[in-house]
Amino acid sequence: MTQAPQSPQTQPPSGQPAGWIQLTLQGSMVTSSAVPPKVRLNGYPVATAYGVNALPVPAGRWRGEVHCQWLRQFGQAALDVDVAPGQQVPVFYAAPLHQFTTGNIGFERQKRKGVAFFTGLMVFLALMVAVLIAVNVA
């Protein structure tokens, strides 16, 4: 007899004294992506939003994995976090400015990757518009 596949759990197992991971997803729907980054703790999906997310977890070591999704998965970053009972551990994630690099995650505010690429792309596009306008005026 075959068993029906079980749906994945959405919350990590509990039973130990709790602590918190204070996960800050830097950015917003305007400055990053309309789709907030996806977060997993020890492989379990966790519902989050931009800004500070207080995630209650049993004390112990936790593996946090974050990525963004648009046309493809990008901005991958992971961090091991040790949480003591009653402790709040601040963790910060910054998504990149484009889809061709990883994100940054750590215990302090993070800089966003891809600033030079994004700036270069915007300058190139502005120059192209200026050239097209100059050609049409002449």
Phi, psi of 37 (to 5 degrees): -60, 150
- Distance CA(65)–CA(80), nearest Å, equals 9
Kindly state the DSSP code that residue 45 receives in the 8-state scheme: E
Domain 18-113 has CATH 2.60.40: yes
Q: What is the pLDDT of residue 21?
A: 97
Kindly state the DSSP code that residue 55 receives in the 8-state scheme: E
- Distance CA(28)–CA(93), nearest Å, equals 12
Closest alpha carbon to 93 in 82, 81, 129, 83: 81
Kindly state the tokens that stand for 101.
């690099």
Q: What is the pLDDT of residue 17?
A: 66
H helix intervals, the chain: 115-137
pTM of the predicted model over 0.85: no
Q: Which residues pair with 52 in a beta bridge?
A: 24
User: pLDDT of the chain along its 138 residues, tens only?
Assistant: 445 444 444 455 556 669 999 999 998 888 777 889 999 999 999 999 999 999 999 999 999 999 999 888 999 999 999 999 999 999 999 999 888 899 999 999 999 988 888 888 889 999 999 999 988 886
Domain ranges of the chain: 18-113
Longest dimension (CA), the chain: 79
Q: What is the pLDDT of residue 136?
A: 87
Kindly state the DSSP code that residue 19 receives in the 8-state scheme: E
Chain Cα centroid distance, residue 30 = 15
Kindly state the tokens that stand for 59.
């004390």
